[in-house]
Structure formats: structure tokens, C-alpha cells
Amino acid sequence: MASIPLTLAALSTSAVPGLVVFGVREHESDDGFLSAVIVTEDDDLLVRVPRTQQAEVQQSAELLGLAALTEGPRSRLPFTAPTALGMTRAGDTRAVVTTFLDGARFAATDLTDDAILLQPLAEAIAAIHDLPLTVAQHGGLPVRSAQDLRVLATRLVDRADATRLLPETVRRRWTHVLETPDLWDFAPTMVHGSLDAESIRVEDGSITAVLGWSECGIGDPASDLAWLLAAGTEVLDGVIARYARARNSESLSHLRARAALYHELEVARWLLHGTETHDQAVIDDAVAMLDRMVGTGGALGSAFTEAVAAAPLSSEEVIALLERTPQIDDALSDTAAFEALDEDRMFGVDTDFIEPLHEDGEDAAANGSDGEDADAEHLTEQLTEPLSDEDLPGRPRP
């Protein structure tokens, strides 16, 4: 293990001509990368080598995102983003050297509704969303319309439903949100795309750096807010209220509803990851999380109800939102909830009630990799061709 940082230090001198290394130390990273911190006379640098094909694809997308953040856009951000300095071949892959941005870390669950960090979080997210759309358009980043994003979310629900492990109660809730046109009438903005607590560095109550720009592009601003629900609805509401003060945005209730949907859809992604990798532990974990959603609307149910009934909030309502604590009423007892869950499971097992997915090609679950390839090609098209309402799946349900 001691030789790995030294090897990475040698690769960094090849990636950045003229680089003089004064020292090297190990760096904690995810399992997809080998990484080390390079000490130079002026600053510390980070060198990373992907260990898997998925990590290599992620690194390529991140390099594209960082390249699109030229000097102009960076000057508009109240934090620092990494800068790519060079790369070199490393066996069958490559080593990439970037600036190393360090700072204190926090978990989303550490946040409270009166945390000092809520204000800088709102300002940082608003600053990303206020970047010109030309950053993505000229930088070759994904450009998605509101309809594109709606279709992609619908397909994700369809794929999760095809596993027959998605409770009907949860599926109906997600579908109801997706089939409510007003919620999807919004102007896409520049988004980070994979924002969460792990990608943020802080110091003295301020956000100093934001990492991980592999999914940067034009998308739904609600996607950058969804991770805050891990800390509770009060934290999300607090950040959104402050976010609204920082930029002119759409109806806050619609923004909250989509953020809640994206938060819940992460469980669908986790379920699909488990089924695609045949990891029963992951499948069981995802199913347990889905089971807990049965019988309660959760954050999504509360947000959706208010979004449908509410008009855009006034400035006075935004101020009131800062002090508001949403209440979630569980309409079912524990016994009734699990009885409903059993009925959902039985419904899923009876194939007479399961309709085929409306996608190009056959269902990936029935046709293996051919279906996955067809799905991947179709998703690629979504990045460049906005879709109309006619493209939205509209399946009748029994």
C-alpha cells in the first residue's frame, strides 16, 4: 500500500509538466478510485486513477463539467470548484490531477431547521442555478427540458414497477405527481446534478468548496434540493425559503413537491441497482424502505397536497415558511398499512394485472442486455431532443 501514493506522485509529474513534488500522502476516496494528495511548493493537488469502468465514465463527465466552468462562471459562484490541471496514461486508464479543495465535512442529518449553514447552502444553490444556460450549451453538457425530465422520471418508476417489488400505494403516489402537469411547468436551470453533503466543504459556517460536477448540466433546480430531505422537511423548507430570497423562482410549493419526489425516487434507483447486480442485501434494504412508505404520504404526500392547492407564495408567505413545521398525518394504522402492503404484493405477483413497459424495444427485464442497450440509446436521445406531452406514458390501470 505504501507504494501506491508514490506511484501516483510519479504519475502526477507526468500529467503536469514542471510539477515539483515535495511530499505525498494518502487520501480517503470512494472505492472507485485510487487517490493521493500531492504536496507542492504552492498548493496541494489531488491525483486520482479510476479503478472501474463506471468510475472512469464518471471522471470523464466530471472533467467535462469542470471545463465548462470557465473563469466567468466561476467568478459568479460564492465557493471554489476544482480545476483540472492535467492527465496522463496509467495502464489501461488515466491519472487526472486537479486542485485539492479541503475543508470540514458534515452529514445531511446534522442539519437542523435553525442551523447557520442553511443560509450559505441556499445562496450556493441559488448561485449555481443562476449561471447562464450557455455554460452547458457551449460546454457540451446535458441539456434537458422539463418534459425530458418528466419522461426520465416516469421511466424510472416504470422500471421499478417492473421488478414487482414496488408497492402499489407508492407507485400510485409517484404516478400522481408525474401526471400533474402544473408541477412540470417550470424553466430548467443550470444544476450541479449530484449535490449532497459529501460534495460540500465548509469552514467557519461558510461553504468554501463544492466538488463532484459529473452530472452538471441544464436540469430541474429541485434535484439540487432533494438531498436536504434526509435532514427533514423543516430543513428543506428553511433552505427553500432562503433560496427564494436569493433568486426569482417558480412556485415554491411546486419546487418542494418535485424535490420530495426526487428524494423518494432514490429508493427506486437503489432497488434497481440491487436487481441489476443481483445483490439481495441491497434489494432487501430497498424493499424495507419502500415498505415504510406504505400507509403514509411522507414528505412527498404533504408537499404534493400543498402544491396542487396552493398558488405561488408571496414574500410574506415565504417569511412565514421559515417558522413553519409541517405535520404529517398517518392515515393508516400499522396493521392496516401492512395489510395494504400484502395486497400490493399479491397484485404484483398476478401477471394478468401487469402491463408491458411502453419503451423502444422489449422490457429489459425480459430480454437481458439487448433491452438495456435499447434503453440506454433512448435515454441518450433525450439529452438532445425535447419531448412532447404525447411521449409521456399514459397507461390505464385496473
Q: What integer pLDDT is reported at residue 349 of this predicted model?
A: 44
Q: What integer pLDDT is reported at residue 301 of this predicted model?
A: 55
Q: What integer pLDDT is reported at residue 347 of this predicted model?
A: 42
What top-level class would CATH report for the domain 3-99? alpha beta
Round to whole Å and give the CA distance between 230 and 119: 17
What is the dihedral sign for C-alpha 271, 272, 274, 278?
Answer: positive
Q: What integer pLDDT is reported at residue 210 of this predicted model?
A: 98
∠ CA 379-384-389, nearest 5°, is: 75
Domain 108-391 has CATH 3.90.1200.10: yes
Q: What integer pLDDT is reported at residue 193 of this predicted model?
A: 96
Q: What integer pLDDT is reported at residue 157 of this predicted model?
A: 97
> What are the structural domain ranges in the chain?
3-99, 108-391
Residue 219 pairs in a beta bridge with: 189
Round to whole Å and give the CA distance between 1 and 235: 42
CA distances from 232 to 55, 112, 115, 214, 259 (A): 31, 8, 13, 26, 12
Max alpha carbon distance in the chain (Å)? 69
Q: What integer pLDDT is reported at residue 391 of this predicted model?
A: 54
Q: What integer pLDDT is reported at residue 335 of this predicted model?
A: 45
Can you give the pLDDT of all 398 residues of the chain as single tens digits? 457 889 999 999 999 999 999 999 999 878 899 999 999 998 999 999 999 999 999 999 999 999 999 999 999 999 999 999 999 999 999 999 999 999 999 999 999 999 999 999 999 999 999 999 999 999 999 999 999 999 999 999 999 999 999 999 999 999 999 999 999 999 999 999 999 999 999 999 999 999 999 999 999 999 999 999 999 999 999 999 999 988 876 678 899 999 999 999 999 999 999 999 999 999 999 999 999 988 665 556 555 555 555 444 445 445 555 554 444 444 444 444 444 444 444 444 444 444 454 544 444 444 444 544 544 444 444 444 555 555 555 544 44
User: Contact 304/202 with Cβ under 8 angstroms?
Assistant: no
Residues in the chain: 398
